[in-house]
Amino acid sequence: MKSSDILRDAESILDDTIQLRRRIHRHPELGLTLPRTQGAVLDVLHDLDLDVRTGQRTTSIVARLAGARPGPTILLRADMDALPMPEETGLPFASEVNGAMHACGHDAHTAMLVGAARLLARRRDSLAGSVLFMFQPGEEGYHGARVMIEEGLLDGTPPPTAAFALHVTHRLTAGAIAARSGPAMASGDTLQIVVRGRGGHASAPHDCLDPIPIACEIVQAFQTLVTRRVHVFDPAVVTVAKIEAGTTRNVIPDTASLLGTIRTVSEATRERVLDGVRRVAEGIAAAHGAEAAVELIRGYPVTVNDAAFADFVLDTARELLGSEVVHAMSHPIMASEDFSYVLQRVPGAIANLSTRPADGPAFPNHSPRMRVNESALPAGIAMHVAVALRFLAKGTGATTLA
Ligand code: NI
């Protein structure tokens, strides 16, 4: 199978891919229950003669394509959920659901993976091994991948020994691919702190215990924690994004609350910073005779690409698309991703595909004006197909697609 054939096949199903992507885009669904999106995907998979299973606790889909001959299994992932935000693109197929939008490109991820399933199913007779298609709900903070793992995603026979996912970005020329070895995306944990003092008249702070300066001191001290206690080459971000206290100019409130996020790119630094945030907040409050109630809510772990598999993905991309559009990323992205749960158990990689619009400004993911350049979708379909074909071919000793 030549690279040019894979790209040509991917181009040949572009109309269907766009149609599915727009159908999903028009009706975005949130969280772990996406019946309409699941229905749209099942409609297309129906004709492909795959072993299809749907989730119990979520509307996930796991579909296995078994090749004609035995061999290893590779998992390919797409996420399917949207974001709770209004859409302001003005596109003719814009969201028809108030307060929901596919602003993270998961509609495109889903349509590309369906396209890849279609192309790989056509090649079933030449496949040695199988491809496991993972369509997950609840990527945007709902731990959808973890639920799928709990429901047996990785327990099939044979279990996957490699895993691959794509995520759209606006940062490169449309159709370009970027990936890196090692940490690819950050852990994302939430901090919630309530500093409890004692309120009273603002003219007599000595009769009160003012929580506001204590909260301010805690915010400052987090930045000292990050710069003085964290290795500069294994970094962390602590951002307090919300402070809430008080009601008016002449009343000292009882409490001040802080809300923020903690990002790291290694589990060791993650634990160190989580411990440090608790210690610093409690210690500073105690030093002033107040109390800090610290709640740390664990989000997604660090997304770590397997070094060998990430190299394999970059090689595959160079062969498929040409080295001028393939980029080895110098550093991780500090957003988080629940494909991390899969990569904790299966060596694999997530890569970025640029879908930067050719006309007009490129808004980032999670912007109400984020748009996907659909002409880049064949590159994504072809990447899924080529990674799978090349990985399964390795079992037979072949090393290139040509
Ligand atoms: Ni996303």
Which of the four pLDDT bands, split at 50, 70 and 90, describes residue 300?
A: very high
Instruction: Look at residue 221 and tell me whether its pLDDT is greater than 60.
Output: yes
Ligand 1 centroid to Cα of residue 365, in Å, is 8
Q: In the chain, what is the greatest distance between 2 CA atoms, to the nearest angstrom?
A: 83
Ligand 1 centroid to Cα of residue 292, in Å, is 34
Beta strand 177-179 pairing with 326-328 = parallel
pLDDT of residue 283: 98
The residue assigned the tokens 């003085």 is 228
In the chain, what are the helix, strand and coil shares in percent, each to the nearest 5? 40, 25, 35
CA 214/CA 256 separation, integer angstroms: 9
pLDDT (tens digit per residue) in 349-391: 999 999 999 998 999 999 999 999 999 999 999 999 999 999 9
What value does the mean pLDDT take over residues 234-252?
97
CA 118/CA 114 separation, integer angstroms: 6
Instruction: Please give the structure tokens belonging to residue 193.
Output: 């702190």
Beta-bridged to residue 286, according to DSSP, are none
Instruction: Look at residue 397 and tell me whether its pLDDT is greater than 90.
Output: no
Nearest one of 303, 305, 313 to 347, comparing CA atoms: 305
Ligand 1 centroid to Cα of residue 169, in Å, is 9
What value does the mean pLDDT take over residues 228-241?
96
Ligand 1 centroid to Cα of residue 5, in Å, is 29
Ligand 1 centroid to Cα of residue 251, in Å, is 43
Residue 23 CA to its chain's centroid (Å): 22
Please give the radius of gyration of the chain, using alpha carbons only, rounded to the nearest integer.
24
256-280 b/e (C-beta count within 10 Å ≥ 16 → b): bbbebbbbbbbeebbebbbebbbeb
Instruction: Look at residue 311 and tell me whether its pLDDT is greater than 50.
Output: yes
pLDDT (tens digit per residue) in 104-158: 999 999 999 999 999 999 999 999 999 999 999 999 999 999 999 999 999 988 9
Instruction: Look at residue 182 and tell me whether its pLDDT is greater than 70.
Output: yes
pLDDT of residue 204: 97
Residue 315 identity (one-letter amino acid): D
Cβ-contact 179, 351 below 8 angstroms: yes
Which of the four pLDDT bands, split at 50, 70 and 90, describes residue 396?
A: low
Q: For the ranges 34-43, 249-258, 389-398, which has the lowest average pLDDT?
A: 389-398
CA 364/CA 361 separation, integer angstroms: 10
What value does the mean pLDDT take over residues 285-304?
98
DSSP 317-347: HHHHH-GGGEEE-SS-BSS--THHHHHHHS-
What value does the mean pLDDT take over residues 226-249?
97
What value does the mean pLDDT take over residues 339-358?
97
Residue 104 CA to its chain's centroid (Å): 9
Catalytic residue numbers, as ranges: 300, 374
Domains of the chain: 3-184+302-394 (3.40.630.10), 187-300 (3.30.70.360)
Instruction: Please give the structure tokens belonging to residue 225.
Output: 């924690």
Other CB atoms within a 10 A radius of the CB of residue 244 amount to 12
Ligand 1 centroid to Cα of residue 114, in Å, is 17
Instruction: Look at residue 186 and tell me whether its pLDDT is greater than 60.
Output: yes
CA 366/CA 263 separation, integer angstroms: 18
Residue 212 identity (one-letter amino acid): I
Instruction: Please give the structure tokens belonging to residue 21.
Output: 């992507």
Ligand 1 centroid to Cα of residue 373, in Å, is 16
Coil, strand or helix at 285: helix
End-to-end Cα spacing for the chain: 6
Which of the four pLDDT bands, split at 50, 70 and 90, describes residue 402?
A: very low
Mean pLDDT for the chain? 96
Beta-bridged to residue 25, according to DSSP, are none
Nearest one of 306, 394, 310, 386 to 345, comparing CA atoms: 306
Coil, strand or helix at 29: coil
Cβ-contact 395, 128 below 8 angstroms: yes
Q: What percent of the chain lies above the pLDDT cut of 70?
A: 98
Residue 33 CA to its chain's centroid (Å): 18
Cβ-contact 300, 338 below 8 angstroms: yes
Cis omega before residue 72 (within 30°)?
A: no
Ligand 1 centroid to Cα of residue 10, in Å, is 23
Instruction: Look at residue 398 and tell me whether its pLDDT is greater than 80.
Output: no
CA 224/CA 238 separation, integer angstroms: 10
Ligand 1 centroid to Cα of residue 284, in Å, is 37
Ligand 1 centroid to Cα of residue 388, in Å, is 22
pLDDT of residue 1: 61
